[in-house]
Amino acid sequence: MGRYVPHDSLESPRFSGVRTFMRLPNARDLPNSDAVVVGIPFDTGASFRAGARFGPEGIRSASHLLRPYNPLQGIGIFDHISVTDFGDIPIVPGYIEESYEAIRRELEVIHRAGVVPIALGGDHSIALPELRAAAAIHGPLAIVQFDSHADTWDSYFGKRYNHGTVFRRAVEEGVLSPQQSVQVGMRGSLYGASDLEESRRLGFEVMSTQTVRRLGPEETVARIRERVGESKVFVSFDVDFVDPAYAPGTGTPEVGGFTSAEALELLGGLSGIDLIGGDVVEVYPQYDGPAQITSLLAATVAFELLSLLASVKKANVEQSGGTEDGLDH
């Protein structure tokens, strides 16, 4: 069959229809998909504001503004990959470990089918079951984490599972390879110097906001690409990477961050990496105001991740001299 593509917004208005991501079909047809967008409406792991459970809904609504051609990458996404909106994973509100198991179970099925999931969060604690599911199929992963917080505490209020401990747990469980991983954009006040030193001790490369600004986007991207090398890569984008002037609708905002344009430039520079999954997390629509600017940022980040997948698919087909009629599962 043909590719799954969005509804044609030149035939039906973008403000109409059911709110799926970019107006894609709501389908769970993994054999005929290259990638799926999946909602994970979980926020029990949050430590300050609550409400990221409404993030997938807000991101999907804002995504109807997006068009299928990405001028930064020079690619029409759906000319090269078949994508559906997979719907939401049925988490268990208030119960993090039960929700983790539900998330892992569903995402592992997606990875096993050779399909790349792009998740809409949800707070950042969802990254742990995402990584568990991906590593079960692909082995330990490299992560590129765009964030203002390292999320490598050992515990918070004596609890091991929340959005501040997720990447420490991932290293301990062996689902991440920290020597191929990088945390980009760290900034803001800390409980102590050890907050970031723990990340380095675990093996991550830590690039603070000040470091990224000193290096500039080209050198930052070069450092990221050198770090991940040929590894299977998971990209995790916390919207608090961006300054709250551009992304107010988040759970733990930190001033002094990046613009939306700077964030998209860094993401676009990752073209060609072996992306096997990604997410955009910590969107709180109730703090976003009527303009939906944080939701639109998050939708555009997911759009950029799909663009990276489409670029790789296009390059692989061109290199092999084949056609894109079939799916590469």
Answer whether 0.85 is exceeded by the pTM: yes
Please report whether residue 221 resides in a domain.
no
Examine residue 303 and state whether it is found in any structural domain, yes or no. yes
Does residue 91 lie within any of the structural domains?
Answer: yes
Residue 210 belongs to some domain of the structure: no
Rounded Cα distance between 294 and 249, Å, is 6
Q: Rounded CA gap, 296 and 233, in Å?
A: 24
Query: How many other CB atoms are there within 10 angstroms of residue 308's CB atom?
Result: 25
Question: Residue 237 belongs to a domain with what CATH number?
Answer: 3.40.800.10
Q: What Å distances lie between residue 1 and 19, 33, 82, 310, 313, CA to CA?
A: 24, 10, 10, 18, 18
CA atoms within 13 A on the CB side of 49: 22
Band (pLDDT 50/70/90 cuts) for residue 151 is: confident
pLDDT in tens, 25-83: 999 999 999 999 999 999 986 777 788 899 999 999 999 999 999 998 899 999 999 99
* Residue 247 reports pLDDT greater than 90: yes
8-state DSSP, 146: E
Which residues form the domain of 128?
21-138+158-169+231-320
**181 domain residue, yes or no:** no
In a domain, 105, yes or no: yes
Q: Indicate the number of domains in the chain.
A: 1
Residue 258 token pair: 């990046």
Residue 63 lies in a domain: yes
The answer on pLDDT for 236 being more than 80 is: yes
In-domain check, residue 250: yes
